[in-house]
């Protein structure tokens, strides 16, 4: 793996506190910064993947609705009212 240098300015007090905190964890500041950078990149990639997944799901839902594949609200409410009633019944049985 090729390496590159990353240079930036930071307040001296912050640098000192960061170095002390890193040393307390038996890590160097550079190790922690690399870890932070990897974590940040990973979180950004996960966010992009999630957004793409969600957008695809929304697009499928819109296409389904445009095709007339809709369920009436009363039918949905009745289904979930039955599920809530069943859950309550099970909870009462546990008492």
With 80 as the cut, is the pLDDT of residue 1 above it?
A: no
Average pLDDT of the segment spanning 19-48: 97
Looking at residue 95, its pLDDT comes to 86
Domains in the chain: boundaries = 12-70
Residue 2's pLDDT band, with cuts at 50, 70 and 90, is confident
Looking at residue 69, its pLDDT comes to 93
d(CA 36, CA 28): 12
Q: pLDDT tens-digit profile of 52-91?
A: 999 999 999 999 999 999 999 999 999 999 999 999 999 9
What is the sign of the dihedral through the CA atoms of 59, 62, 68 and 70?
Answer: positive
Q: Which two tokens stand for residue 45?
A: 């990639």
- pTM (2 decimals)? 0.67
């Amino acid at each position: 793996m090729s390496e590159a240098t990353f240079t930036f300015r930071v307040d001296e007090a912050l640098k000192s506190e960061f170095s002390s905190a890193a040393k307390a964890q038996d890590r160097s500041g550079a190790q922690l910064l690399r870890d932070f950078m990897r974590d940040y990149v990973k979180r950004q990639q996960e966010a992009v993947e999630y957004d793409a997944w969600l957008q695809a799901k929304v697009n499928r839902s819109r296409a389904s609705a445009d095709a007339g594949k809709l369920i009436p609200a009363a039918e949905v409410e009745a289904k979930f009212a039955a599920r809530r009633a069943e859950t309550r019944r099970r909870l009462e049985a546990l008492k």
